[in-house]
Structure 1
Amino acid sequence: MGRVARSFDYVERADGSVVISHHGRPAGTLRGDRAAQFLAEVREDPQLVMARWTGNYRRGNERAARQHPRNRG
């Protein structure tokens, strides 16, 4: 089968902080309680959770943009 595209990745550092990267570039660093909360939540659906924590996720306006006269084709 095909390979699953993974645009987000994270690294847990020894000091307890978490660095989230998007396409190999740092997208955010979490420390303290936020890092612990992220690590507890990331086990569910890692790509979606990392997208949500970095703010890089779909905002729900894709359908409206597709129907705009400029984008109809």
Structure 2
Amino acid sequence: MGNRPGGFAYTTRPDGTVTITHQGRAAGVLRGGRAARFLNEVEAGDAQLVMARWTGNYKHGNERVARSHPRNAR
């Protein structure tokens, strides 16, 4: 299907804040209800895919098509 995301990790702080990192750099911070929803999704599914989706660091599948669009051709 395509490349699977990788290199994501997350840490949970005592106050409930979740920090998502990608290849060692901070990619997002979640607090409150969003952090709880994120943790539920990570436990229920593929953690790498969930973190990629929550941070927006995932391929949309249209990169190859966009490259050949007349607006992008140079």
| TM-score normalised per structure 1 | 0.78
Q: Which runs of 5+ in 2 are unaligned?
A: none
Instruction: Tell me: higher relative CO, structure 1 or 2? Use CA pairs within 8 A at least 6 residues apart.
Output: 2
Aligned-residue RMSD, C-alpha: 1.9
Aligned length, in residue pairs: 66
Structure 1 stretches lacking a partner, 5+ long: none
Q: Give per-residue Cα distances to partners, 1:28-72, cap 9 Å, x unaligned.
A: 00000000000000121000000000011111213414666x6xx
**TM-score using structure 2 length:** 0.77
Q: Distance in 1 between matches of 2:47 and 2:68?
A: 31
* Identity across matched positions, percent: 63
1:10 equivalent in structure 2 = 10
Q: Alignment partner of 2:9: what SS? A: strand
**Where has structure 1 moved over 3 Å in runs of 4 or more?**
65-68
**Alignment partner, residue 50 of structure 1:** 51
* Separation (CA, whole Å) in 2 of partners of 1:29 and 1:60: 26
Partners of 2:25 and 2:63 lie apart in 1 by: 25
